[in-house]
Structure 1
């Protein structure tokens, strides 16, 4: 499976925040020890690719989604004494403000943000998701991206339902692509299941119906080799 880098493409990074370094709040066992390395690799590759836009290449951009909890006891609450809402050092937005930053207060990155409108206005046809956590905010966002059809183009008008029989109108759809970079996500053990199992089942639940699954090394290789 490869990327089609002739298409406008966005990397959406979810909840890379200091709160997730809390030693006990989320649990003591996290999946994917290569998470930090893989996120850094994706960011570096996308930043290099985005520099080619001025030379006529299709859009390659990074969008950072951060979480601001409404629960006072959460490490992701704005008043957390350890400043848990701040970005992790390895995943800070670009200092030149060339990367979009949005804030949410629920699991989905599409609720209370301009993410859907931004992707549509930019004509993004391929969106990659990575971040924390695999089974909560990442999974919810990927599922909603698929349900919203944020990378699809309806060639014969908007897609509608017949209120009488529920049949969709015959509308031509040019499908875009939603990709989960599975080894650039991570989660914690819960419910008696170890972290790697929670992670693997979450990824398997998304594959096919909601997203294509790719590895960081394959994404980076495609971006590096793009002409």
Structure 2
């Protein structure tokens, strides 16, 4: 296997750019249709982007429950698989956050043509509070995507290996509900547990949000590694 073959294969299978383009076109189309009946006062893209973290969760599951076992079964060592899978994850998260940010920029340019305000609604939660805070938008979604991808990878690995008597996947899902809470605080997701934290402690500082996101992503990644480092290969009959 050539160097980075697995990374390239995973990237091609992700379909990220095509999905982003489809979501952006659909967002603009729906906004245009709505404008025929009422004034546009908020960013349509800001509502659509909250689908994207769940895509990252699904990709994480897909990598550890489908791709890694397939590669290991065909003789690729875990030592070779994991660095390439990690590189793919970093690439997916970075490009994904960049595309979300680009979507806000494209929408802003189009809104300017028709003189529509591009606001984020009444919420001022998260690392960004305006649709043109591109650096903060990128950071917020990068952190959120990293958490969702890592949690998805842990869930996929736990279900695949039937960890802890088959209850591992369920237990990891429960744990994942807590781990993804910081993604909501970063503004990259709309999630109930994040609102619970805000209700109890208020909106935390930017530094605390960043640190909590990093800790959550590292914890989920560590859990994933613990589950895949000796990942068993099941035959199709099992």
Taking structure 2 as the reference length, the TM-score comes to 0.28
Which structure would you say has the larger RCO, counting Cα contacts within 8 Å and 6 or more residues apart?
Answer: 1
Comparing both structures, which one devotes a greater share of its residues to strand?
Answer: 1
TM score, norm. by length of structure 1: 0.29
Bigger proportion of residues as helix: 2
From the CA coordinates, give the structure whose radius of gyration is larger: 2
